[in-house]
Amino acid sequence: MELTTPNFLRREPTVAVNRRRVKRTSPKYVSPKLPNNNKPPKTKTFIGATKVVVHLWDQCPRIGSGHRMVWAKRGHKWVHLCDVLGNKGKMRVADFDKIVKEQA
């Protein structure tokens, strides 16, 4: 009695296949462009705004907490802030002077 291997268990290719590896021409992931990364928003509130780095705790919850790069427009009583994603908020000038780290 002779044992034979069935066709579905054989590992030999029935047809020669060219398995050439294709090199990727474009990067796998391209990060999206942020709307306010290079310029402040186009509203009259932010005309002449400067880019600063601040460390926020809970002073402006719409923007978030931690080190942030924001566009800041200083007024007499309020400082209007906008981060690079477009989130806007405001805080008092006295509080803003305490948290400004450096000019970006």
**pLDDT tens figures, 4-22:** 888 878 777 666 666 777 7
Judged against a pLDDT cut of 80, whether residue 32 lies above it is answered with yes
What 63-69 contacts at long range (C-beta under 8 Å, 24+ apart), as own/partner pairs, is 63/87, 63/88, 63/89, 67/101, 69/104
Sign of CA pseudo-dihedral 68, 66, 30, 34: negative
pTM above 0.85, yes or no: no
Q: Report how many domains make up the chain.
A: 1
92 confidence band (pLDDT: 50, 70, 90): very high
Write out the residue range of the structural domain in which residue 58 sits. 48-104
Distance CA 80, CA 47 (A): 11
Tokens at 15, concatenated: 């047809």
Tokens at 18, concatenated: 């060219």
99 lies in some domain:
yes
Predicted pLDDT at 17: 63
Output 90 or 9, whichever has higher pLDDT: 90
30 lies in some domain:
no
Judged against a pLDDT cut of 60, whether residue 48 lies above it is answered with yes
